[in-house]
Amino acid sequence: MPRIHLLPSDLVNQIAAGEVVERPASAVKELIENAIDAGATTIDVLLEAGGRKRIEIRDNGSGMSEDDALLALERHATSKIANFSDLTRVRTLGFRGEALPSIASVSRFTLITSDTNTGAATEIECDPLTGQRTSRPSARDRGTTISVRELFENVPARRKFLRSPDAEFRSIVTVVASYALPLPSRAFRLEHNGRLVLDLPPAVNARERALQILGSEAREHLADFDAQIGAARAYGFVTRNLRFGSKRNQYFFVNGRLVKDRVLSHAANRACEAFDFDGHPGIVLFLEIDPELVDVNVHPAKTEVRFRDSSQVHVAVEQAIKRALGGAEEGATLIRDAPQAPLANQHSALSTQHSAPSTQHPSLFPPNRYDSGPRWTPEFTPLFQREALVQPPLGNTLAETRTTSVLEEEPQLGDLQGRVIGQYRMSYILVDMPGGLRLVDQHVAHERVLYDRYLARVEARDPVSQTLLTPILYESGAAECAALESHLAELREVGFDIERFSGNSFAIASVPPELLRTDIDSFLRKVIDASLEEKSSHLTHVRERITASLACQAAIKVHRPLGGEEMARLVAELLRSSNPFACPHGRPIIVDIKHLDIERHFHRK
With b for 16 or more beta-carbon neighbours within 10 A and e for fewer, the 299-311 pattern comes to ebebeebebeebe
**Tens digits of residue pLDDT in 266-295:** 999 888 887 767 788 999 999 999 988 888
Same domain as 57, residue 20:
yes
Residue 138 confidence class, pLDDT cut points 50, 70, 90? very high
Q: What per-residue confidence (pLDDT) applies to 345?
A: 45
CATH code assigned at 436: 3.30.1540.20
Instruction: Quote the number of domains for the chain.
Output: 3
Higher pLDDT, 355 or 497: 497
Same domain as 148, residue 18:
yes
**How many residues in total does the chain contain?**
605
**SS3 for 22?**
coil
Positions of E strands within 476-539: 497-500, 505-511
**CB-based burial label for 518 (10 Å; 0-12, 13-18, 19+):** exposed
Higher pLDDT, 447 or 518: 447
Q: Mean pLDDT in the chain?
A: 79
Same domain as 408, residue 286:
no
Q: What per-residue confidence (pLDDT) applies to 302?
A: 75
| Residue 576 pLDDT exceeds 70 | yes
Q: What per-residue confidence (pLDDT) applies to 383?
A: 36
Residues of the domain holding 468: 359-605
Final residue of a domain: which of 200, 217, 239?
A: 200
Q: Look at 80-89, 227-236, 379-388, 510-519 and tell me which has the smallest mean pLDDT.
A: 379-388
Distance between CA 268 and CA 287 in Å, rounded? 12
Same domain as 476, residue 370:
yes
CB atoms within 10 A of CB 258: 19
Which residues touch 584 (CB under 8 Å, ≥6 apart)? 447, 448, 451, 544, 547, 548, 551, 552
**SS3 for 514?**
coil
How many CA atoms, within 13 angstroms, populate the side-chain half-sphere of residue 278? 2
C-alpha 559 chain-centroid distance? 28
Same domain as 560, residue 443:
yes
How many CA atoms, within 13 angstroms, populate the side-chain half-sphere of residue 122? 18
* pTM metric for this prediction: 0.68
Q: In the beta sheet, which residues pair with residue 441?
A: 428
Per residue, the 3-state secondary structure of 564-602, as one string, reads HHHHHHHHHHHHCCCCCCECCCCCECEEEEEHHHHHHHC
Q: What per-residue confidence (pLDDT) applies to 218?
A: 87
Same domain as 244, residue 186:
no
Q: What per-residue confidence (pLDDT) applies to 584?
A: 84
Residue 381 confidence class, pLDDT cut points 50, 70, 90? very low
**Tens digits of residue pLDDT in 291-314:** 888 888 777 777 788 898 889 999
The stretches of 274-370 forming alpha helices (DSSP H) are 310-325, 328-332, 343-351
Which residues touch 317 (CB under 8 Å, ≥6 apart)? 227, 234, 263, 264, 267, 268, 271, 285, 287
Q: What per-residue confidence (pLDDT) applies to 401?
A: 37
Q: What per-residue confidence (pLDDT) applies to 111?
A: 95
**DSSP character for 247?**
S
Residue 5 confidence class, pLDDT cut points 50, 70, 90? confident
Residue 534 confidence class, pLDDT cut points 50, 70, 90? low
Q: What per-residue confidence (pLDDT) applies to 185?
A: 94
Mean pLDDT of 317-342: 58
**One-letter amino acid of 175:** V
Final residue of a domain: which of 144, 168, 200?
A: 200
**Tens digits of residue pLDDT in 395-452:** 333 333 333 333 344 444 434 467 889 999 999 999 998 888 999 999 999 999 998 8
Higher pLDDT, 341 or 274: 274
CATH code assigned at 233: 3.30.230.10
Distance between CA 598 and CA 605 in Å, rounded? 9
Final residue of a domain: which of 329, 350, 385?
A: 329
pLDDT over 70, % of the chain:
81
In a domain, 334, yes or no: no
Q: Look at 70-84, 258-272, 317-331 and tell me which has the smallest mean pLDDT.
A: 317-331
* Distance (Å) of CA 403 to CA 64, 400, 445, 464, 571: 68, 8, 24, 11, 23
In a domain, 353, yes or no: no
In a domain, 290, yes or no: yes
Q: Look at 137-141, 197-201, 392-396, 594-598 and tell me which has the smallest mean pLDDT.
A: 392-396
